[in-house]
Structure 1
C-alpha cells in the first residue's frame, strides 16, 4: 500500500475531479435533467398522500404525461391495497416518467402503535439499495484512475485470500468472501445490544480468519461482507469517512438532501421499524435497535432516505448523469446470478441487480434491513424509474413494484 504526502495529494485530486465529473452541469443541471423543476400538486389537500410534479417544459426536451394524465389515484390504490393486506404497513413510493414528471404517494403508518400515518416528511432505511450508492462511489474512483477493477484488495484490507480477490469480484459478489451477516454470533450481538455502534473493522473481524467459500471469480454468491470491504477501501483511498462521501455525492452534488448515512439531523422524522420474521412473535417494533442496525449495515445497507430521493438518484445514475457511459456499461456487465431470495433476478453487475418483472428487464437494487425494505428499479426504453420504501422488513418488494409498473405501462406505454 503506497503512502506519503504525494499519494494523499493524488487521492484528494482524483476525488475533486470525480465530484466535478459526477456533477455534469452541476446541481441545477442534474436536477433539470431529472425533470424536478416543476410545481407540485397535492391531490389530497392537507393529507398530502399523493403528489405530481411536472417537468419544466423549458428543461425537458421530450414530450410526456401532463399533470392530468398521471394516474395518481390508481397508483395510490396499489399502495393502499397492499398496505391494508399487511396490517397497515407503511409504504412510500415514487415513479418518474420519461419526461421527468414524477408521482409520489404514501400509505399506511409510520408508527403502528399510535397509528401515525406515514408521510412524505418521513425517512426510511433503504437496506441493500445502499450497495448501488457504494458501487457508484467505487466506479467514480475507477473512472478517475484511483482504483482499477482488476486491483487486488490486499493493498487496503487484511483478510484471508485478499491477494486473490479483485475490486470487480467484490463489486459483483464473485469474491468468495464469507457473509458476516450469516454469522450466528454476530447476529446475536447485532440484535442483542440495540445501542451498540459498530466500527467497520469489527464487522470484518467476524469473518477474519475464515477461508474463502470458493475460488475467487468462480461463481456468484451474495455477501454483505463485500460491501463492507468496499466502504473501507473507499475510506482509505479517498481519506474521508463513508458518510462524508455519501453527503458530497448525493446531497451536495445532486441536491438529494434527505439521503444520509449516520449524519442525519437530530430532528429527522424516521419511520418506526417493524419486523415479523426474526423473533416469530408477531409484529415487533425494532426502532430501539437503530444504532446497531445502521452501523452494523455500514456501506452494505445503512443509508437513510426517501422514495423521491432514491428514485431521483437511480434515474440520474442510469440516465448517465453521474458516471461515464463506459462505467455504466461496466456496471451493467452481469454475471449469472440466480437468487432464491430474489426469484426475479437474472444477473448481478457491479452493485446492480438485473431483474425481470412481468416481462420487463430492469436494473437497480432491492434492500432489506431489520425493520425496513426497499426496491428501486430503472427501465431504459421506455424510460421510467420506480422506488418503493417500507417500514417492515418482509414485504414482497417485486409484487408491489409489479403492480405499480403495470399501471405505468397501461397508461403511457
Structure 2
C-alpha cells in the first residue's frame, strides 16, 4: 500500500515539475517578447546583483585614480567627464569644465557630450540586435538590403569589422571640391554621390582592415531600412529608452546645433559646425559616463545576444600584419600572446575625444569624454592594470606614464 502511495506521489511531483518548467519557459518567452520593438529585440538592463568593492579596497583605488587624474588631466585643464566602475558600481567619477564656455554651462553628471567614434559601439549594437532578431544576417550582402548600394561583395560583417574596402566619405567628398560644402552632407546622399562620381573601393572586400567611418554611416542606413524608423528614433527605442539612458541622444544639426554641448580646441576656441556634422552612425551620439555604464552592464545580461553571435563580436578579424591591436564587430581590442584581451573604443571629432574600456573578465568599466581637445583622454588605458593583469604600467608619483 505504501509503495502505491509513493508511486502516486512521485507521479504527482513529476507533473508539478513539468507544469512549473512549462510556466518558467512561458515567462521567459513572454519576457523576451516584451523586449521587442515591433519584431526587433531591444536591449534589457542588467538585472544581476554583483558585489561592490569592499570599503578598504575602494579607498585605495580612489586614491590611486585621484593621483592619476591629478597628474594626467588637471595639467591639461580637462573639460569633460570621467568614470571608473567595477561590477556596475561607481568607484570614482569626476566632472569639470564647461559644456559651453561662452555661456558658462558647467559639465555635470547629466551633461551629454559628443562621444565621437564611441558612437560606433552603439550603432554596432543596434545592428547586432537586428541580426539576433533574424531581420538580417551577419554575412548578408549589403546590396540585398540597400538595393541601390553599388558594391557587390560587401557584407554586414565587413561593415562592422572595417574590412569592406569602402573609402572614407570625408575624403572622397572633399577631393577636387566635388561636394558643395555649403550644403550639409547626409547619410542618404552617400549612395547617389558614390554612383554619380564612380567612387571605387580602396581594396577587395575582406582582404584587409582599414578603419573607415563610411562603414558605420551605411550601418545606420541599414538600421533605418529594417526598422522603418529614422536612426535617431531606432536608437532611442532599441537601446536608450529600455536602458533608461535618459541623457543620451542622437545629434541633429538643425535641432541641436545651438543647444548641444560645444566642441573646443585646446585653447578654448570653439569649433564651427561644417558640412559633415549631420552624418550619423559613425559619430553624433551625445551621452554621459553614467548612461554608458548602464549600456556596458547591459551587455552582460544573458538575454543581450545569443551566445554564438556574442562570440563573433569579441573576436579579432584582421591578422594580415602582426601586432596586438585588432577589431571585432564594433569594438577595438588588444590581444596578447598569453590569450588576455582588452576591449575598448576611442573617439575623436573636432575637439571632442572619448575613451571607453570594457574589462570583460573583471567586469570593470572605464570611461572618459572630453569636449576640449586633448589626447590625454586615451591614457585611460593605464588604469586597466588596477583591475587585472594588463601590460600598462602605472608609474610612481614622480614618474611620467610611458
Normalising by the residue count of structure 2, what TM-score does the alignment of the two structures yield?
0.75
CA distance in 1, matches of 2:117, 2:178: 20
Selected match of 1:303 from 285, 293, 296: 285
Q: Among residues 61, 83, 91, which one is paired with 2:80 in the alignment? A: 91
Counterpart check, 1:180 vs 2:169: yes
Change (3 A) 1:148 1:266: closer
Q: How far apart, CA to CA, are the structure 2 residues paired with 1:356 and 1:102?
A: 26
Contact 1:95 / 1:387 at 8 angstroms: preserved in 2?
Answer: yes
Is the CA contact (8 Å cut-off) linking 2:264 and 2:352 kept in structure 1? yes
Instruction: Quote the residue 1:312 is aligned against.
Output: 294
Q: Residue 107 of structure 1: CA displacement?
A: 3.4
* 1:127–1:372 CA contact under 8 A, matched in 2: yes
RMSD (Å) for aligned C-alpha atoms: 3.5
Per-residue deviation at 1:140? 0.9
Matches of 1:111 and 1:351, distance apart in 2: 30
Alignment of 1:354-393 (within 5 A): 354-355=333-334, 361-393=341-373
Worse overlay, 177-186 or 144-153: 177-186
Contact 1:336–1:346 (Cα < 8 Å) also in 2: no
Bigger radius of gyration among the two: 2
Is 1:140–2:162 an aligned residue pair?
no
Secondary structure of the 1:284 match is coil
Structure 2 counterpart of 1:284: 269
Give, in whole Å, the separation in 2 of the partners of 1:178 and 1:407. 39
Which consecutive residues of structure 2, in runs of 5 or more, have no partner in the other structure? 1-34, 390-402
Specify whether residues 105 and 154 from structure 1 end up closer, same or farther in structure 2 by C-alpha distance, changes over 3 A only: same
Partner of residue 201 from structure 1, selected from 188, 202, 219? 188
Change (3 A) 1:305 1:321: farther
Question: 1:377-396 deviations in whole A, cap 9, x for unaligned?
Answer: 11122220111101134424
Are 1:320 and 1:328, in contact at CA under 8 Å, matched by a contact in 2? no
Corresponding position of 2:377: 397
Counterpart-to-counterpart distance in 1, 2:357 and 2:258: 26
Q: Would you say 1:352 and 2:352 are equivalent positions? A: no
Give SS of 1:299's match.
Answer: coil
Q: Distance in 1 between matches of 2:126 and 2:223?
A: 8
TM-score (norm: length of structure 1): 0.73
Check whether the contact 1:371–1:393 (CA below 8 A) recurs between aligned residues.
yes
Equivalent in the alignment of 2:38: 16
Deviations 1:185-214 (A, max 9, x none): 279899965xx6432122445544211111
- How many residue pairs were aligned? 348
* CA–CA distance in structure 2, aligned partners of residues 215 and 327 of structure 1: 25
- Residue 348 (structure 1) shift: 0.6
